[in-house]
Structure 1
Amino acid sequence: MTDLKKRILVTGGAGFLGSHLCERLLADGHDVLAVDNYFTGQRDNISHLMGNPHFEIMRHDITFPLYVEVDEIYNLACPASPVRYQFDPVQTTKVNVLGAVNMLGLAKRLKAKVFQASTSEVYGDPTVHPQTEDYRGSVNTIGPRACYDEGKRCAETLFFDYFRQHQLRIKVVRIFNTYGPRMHPNDGRVVSNFIVQALRGENITIFGDGMQTRAFCYVDDLIEGFVRMMATQDDVTGPINLGNPVELPMIHLAERIVELTGTKSRLINHPLPVDDPMQRCPDISKARDTLGWQPIVQLDEGLSRTIAYFDHQLAAGFFNT
């Protein structure tokens, strides 16, 4: 428990990452106000927190101004999977840009620290590997993923303009692939896709030849990075990469999940989606040096916890519709 109790706003608080962050902040002894419009967030993710007198949930869309009193703001609100953010690309751009403007405006009024959950997608399909924070990216501004990629890039621009123009205390992290319990089963992310298909005994979908790589960070490790970043001195603004520096081909991830679940599912190949990066892996030197942070949960351990979560949800019939 922390010595200094704070009232903390978490936008996207009913989402995958947001719910874990709310849980952590409550465990650290803070009061937490979560806001979510439930476009991708789910009440089930935070139902176990509802009875906590230090937790409050508000239905709100941050593309509209929010008037609350808090000490710190974590801005996590935005669909994070291609299936979800491409469903309504205009709204995705709005929540990234207008949402950032509204949270920055709130932080300016309150003189509060404000944290931006940015993404490795700002690097696009990278020509530098692994990706360092000074790499400017290779992004298709008019492709189907641009609503998210460019929306997040614009949000970073706004954060640093508020920092320079208004001396706002900002914290920006770039999140690489993260997985764990409370991922949505139908959001198109590779870990949840593979696990749900394996548990149902369905064919496991491999896009392309399966040799494109990703680096997977377990959610508990990521949240630890968030909290450490928010606790840094005011001159630490980021952006800082948070993710696992050990990359893995998609086909190897699928084979590992087949082994851990004991499924008889077969691997089948589908065409690679448009603008899907072939490599994605963070250089986390800055996170190690500045935050003293690096992932500690090994892949098999994290996958086993995630498989157990999805197995329970499937058995309870939560994903049958």
Structure 2
Amino acid sequence: MKRTLITGAAGFLGSHLCDRFIAEGHYVVGMDNLITGDFKNIGHLFENENFEFSHHDVTKFVHTPSDLDYILHFASPASPIDYLKIPIQTLKVGSLGTLNLLGLAKEKNARILVASTSEVYGNPLVHPQNEEYYGNVSPIGPRGVYDEAKRFMESITMAYHRHHGLETRIVRIFNTYGSRMRLNDGRVVPAFMGQALRGEDLTVFGDGSQTRSFTYIDDQVEGIFRLLMSDYVEPVNIGNPDETTIKEFAEEIIKLTGTDQKIIYKPLPQDDPLQRQPDITRAKEILGWQPKVHRSEGLKKVFEYFKSLSSEELQKKEHRNFSKNS
């Protein structure tokens, strides 16, 4: 039985990866410090004999006594609300956390996949974005704590591959949505869904002409799994090239939810990217992967998930217990 360590296991994407790897016959060690993760995302796994949980911060030394075949590093805040509240922790998990896990992979002779992001492209001057584009990122802007953490992650991962011959993989994740997302975490899909279900007007930043491309969670997990099992070491975009403006997306949510809310506009945050669309040529050619779930189908599933939440959960605002310690 293959043994796989997944960091950020109690998060949205990490918890779905735990499900997938257990289904593939792996023994999964899920690691999380629960700053942004939630036990409820993995509660269904605690009685599974092929799962164990480690409550640990990967910016501290990481050790597991048993052998490991694979490591997936998904421990990082992913929503703007989170990484703007905990900027130093965000930088540390992308730098120190990645360094610790690369060291563990070297010790265990394990293959490691690190979760990068489309944010490495910044506010792009190339559209759609392919993996050879270096990006347009402000290292000192408020979003730089996330963008540069991921850019450093990619750099040190490739250094370990070239210098130590470590088996490494890098996935660049574009906007992904699905069940287990937190309402009010600042990401577009849960933000709009939450506002619609609470009868609030939908908030669009800027004039709504900025674009995003949304990938359903099942497609994202499939792409990540294929990349890990491939022989390709350079970054690969995993995303859905079906691009839409934020204004059009808000109108789509209003129609889906059957509400009559209005769209209200607020100033665009600093360094917010105006365009986001993946070029997935590399994923198609190397992994034989492309998204299968159309946005209309995926959003219906997510809407049913959010409707199933209790009224207390729908009304709850984000009050995370973020430490000020660096």
Q: Which residue in 2 is equivalent to 1:161?
A: 159
Give identity over the alignment, percent.
Answer: 51
Letter in 2 for 1:50: F
- Which range moved further: 102-111 or 61-70? 61-70
Aligned residues: 314
**1:219-278 CA distances to partner (integer Å, 9 max, x unpaired)?**
110000011011112xx1020000001100001111111111111211111110100000
Q: Which residue in 1 is equivalent to 2:319?
A: none
1:104 deviation in Å?
0.1
**1:294-315 CA distances to partner (integer Å, 9 max, x unpaired)?**
0000101110111111111144
Partner Cα separation in structure 2 for residue 230 and residue 170 of structure 1 = 8
Partner Cα separation in structure 1 for residue 313 and residue 6 of structure 2 = 26
1:64 deviation in Å?
0.6
Partner Cα separation in structure 1 for residue 225 and residue 162 of structure 2 = 23
| 2:7/2:72 contact within 8 Å kept | yes
Structure 2 counterpart of 1:292, from 288, 291, 301:
288
| 2:197/2:314 contact within 8 Å kept | no
Q: How does 1:77-116 map to 2 (within 5 A)?
A: 77-116=75-114
1:176 deviation in Å?
0.5
Partner Cα separation in structure 1 for residue 118 and residue 24 of structure 2 = 28
Question: Would you say 1:43 and 2:43 are equivalent positions?
Answer: no
Q: How does 1:1-321 map to 2 (within 5 A)?
A: 5-68=1-64, 69=66, 70-233=68-231, 236-315=232-311, 317-321=312-316
Partner Cα separation in structure 2 for residue 219 and residue 136 of structure 1 = 26
Partner Cα separation in structure 2 for residue 267 and residue 312 of structure 1 = 24
1:320 deviation in Å?
3.5
Runs of 4+ in 1 over 6 A off after TM superposition: none
Letter in 2 for 1:215: S
Letter in 1 for 2:33: N
Q: SS of the counterpart of 2:88?
A: helix
Q: SS of the counterpart of 2:315?
A: coil
Letter in 2 for 1:119: T
Partner Cα separation in structure 1 for residue 131 and residue 97 of structure 2 = 23
What runs of 5+ residues in structure 2 fail to find an aligned partner?
Answer: 317-326
Partner Cα separation in structure 2 for residue 292 and residue 248 of structure 1 = 24
Partner Cα separation in structure 1 for residue 114 and residue 169 of structure 2 = 6
Q: SS of the counterpart of 2:237?
A: strand
1:210 deviation in Å?
0.6
Q: SS of the counterpart of 1:225?
A: helix
CA-based RMSD: 0.8
Partner Cα separation in structure 2 for residue 163 and residue 308 of structure 1 = 43
- Which range moved further: 263-272 or 127-136? 263-272
Q: Which residue in 1 is equivalent to 2:323?
A: none
